[in-house]
Amino acid sequence: MALATLPEGAAKGPAVRAMFDRIAPRYDLVNRLMTGGLDQRWRAAAVDSLRLAPGALAVDLACGTGDLAEQVAARGARTLAIDFAREMLVRGRRRGIDAHWVHGDASALPLPDAAATGLVCGFALRNFVSLPDAFAEIARVVAPDGRIALLEVDRPDSGVVRAAHGFYFDRVVPRLGALLSDAAAYRYLPRSTAYLPAADELRALIEKAGFAEVEQRRLLLGTAQIWTGVRS
């Protein structure tokens, strides 16, 4: 499926999975180029917010090729990297990151209740078929007082900044993606922000799932965001 339109309902999961399988070979390269390497700083900030103790079990949900898993492992935590795109896992395993790689879906995580001390997720909320179902599963596997950090794209509020970001994100990024990887996938990327609820609604969904101290940290003038929370 070329993702000419945003897939909905039952069609979304298979379409998005196939897309990520296609773009896996150059996924890291395009991420670095389109963010100027800032995505790595944002990932480090997200992992830092988990406050992981050495030996703690942390989940990198929708891990891709393992950028966040690498950050988690570097802090001495045991790392479980989960993704529904098998080609992403193949690429991740080749990197030699100290993590356990698992094929799985956010709606049915392969973990017992309260198994993880922390969970981090990078740029994937808009790709889940059902945010309420994903948040319910995240709450199920994170132990009481465990922390989550959800890194995502955002849209700036300021008119001038929003216009400049829109030109880059909606026009330049798809062309860069087409040149280096997959045109349809990188046309989907800016359009997929339509899946993200407004901040108040997203906060309510996270709190309803069972998290307290839910906070949004906006990055680079509102072009990205990190949501954090503590399992009640």
pLDDT tens-digit readout, 50-108: 999 999 999 999 999 999 999 999 999 999 999 999 999 999 999 999 999 999 999 99
pLDDT band at 30 (very low <50, low <70, confident <90, very high): very high
pLDDT band at 1 (very low <50, low <70, confident <90, very high): very low
Among 59, 112, 49, 52, which Cα is nearest to 81's? 59
Q: What's the token pair of residue 206? A: 């996270």
- Residue 215 CB: number of other CB atoms within 10 A? 12
Q: Is the pLDDT of residue 3 over 90?
A: no
- Detail the DSSP E strand segments found in the chain: 57-61, 78-83, 100-103, 116-122, 142-153, 211-219, 224-231
**DSSP category for residue 127:** G
Q: Is the whole model's pTM more than 0.85, yes or no?
A: yes
pLDDT tens-digit readout, 177-223: 999 999 999 999 899 999 999 999 999 999 999 999 999 999 999 99
Q: Which amino acid is at 27?
A: Y
Q: Is the pLDDT of residue 2 over 70?
A: no
At 35 the pLDDT is: 93
Q: What are the structural domains, with CATH classification, of the chain?
A: 9-231 (3.40.50.150)
Among 54, 229, 47, which Cα is nearest to 142's? 229
196 burial level (CB within 10 Å; 0-12, 13-18, 19+): middle
- Residue 29 CB: number of other CB atoms within 10 A? 11
At 158 the pLDDT is: 87
Q: Is the pLDDT of residue 4 over 80?
A: no
pLDDT tens-digit readout, 102-153: 999 999 999 999 999 999 999 999 999 999 999 999 999 999 999 999 999 9
Cβ 148 vs Cβ 118: under 8 Å:
yes
